[in-house]
Amino acid sequence: MDYLIEKTTHNSTFAIGGVSCSADSLVVAESFVLRIKFSGKNPAHRKSAKRYQQAPKKDEKMNEKWEEICFLLSENIKREISESEFEQNVIQALRVLNWKEFTGDIQIRPSFQFGASNRMMPDLVINSAEKKNLFVIEIKQPNIPLTTNFQQQLFSYMRHLRLQYGILIGQSIQVFYDGDLTEHDDPVLLETIQINTEDNKGKIFVELFTKDNFSFEKLHAFTQNSLKKINRRTDQKILINKILSEE
Spatial CA neighbour of 205 closest among 127, 93, 74: 93
Residues with Cβ within 8 Å of residue 229, at least 6 apart in sequence: none
Q: Which residues of 147-167 are buried (b: 16+ CB within 10 A; e: fewer)?
A: eeebbebbbebbebbebbbbb
Q: Helix or strand or coil: residue 33?
A: strand
Q: How far is Cα of residue 221 from the mean position of the Cα atoms in its chain?
A: 14
Answer for the pair 105, 99: CB distance below 8 angstroms, yes or no: yes
Helices (H), the chain: 58-70, 83-96, 148-161, 201-209, 216-246
pLDDT at residue 244, rounded to an integer: 60
**Among residues of the chain, what percentage have pLDDT more than 70?**
72
Q: How far apart are CA 135 and CA 210, in angstroms?
A: 13
Residue 27: pLDDT band (50, 70, 90) is very low
Q: How far apart are CA 187 and CA 160, in angstroms?
A: 13
On the CB side of 102, how many CA atoms lie within 13 Å of its CA? 5
pLDDT digits 0-9 by tens, 56-115: 577 888 999 999 999 999 999 988 899 999 999 999 999 999 999 999 999 999 999 887
Mean per-residue pLDDT for 115-120? 84
Answer for the pair 33, 25: CB distance below 8 angstroms, yes or no: yes
Helices (H), 9-115: 58-70, 83-96
Residue 231: pLDDT band (50, 70, 90) is confident
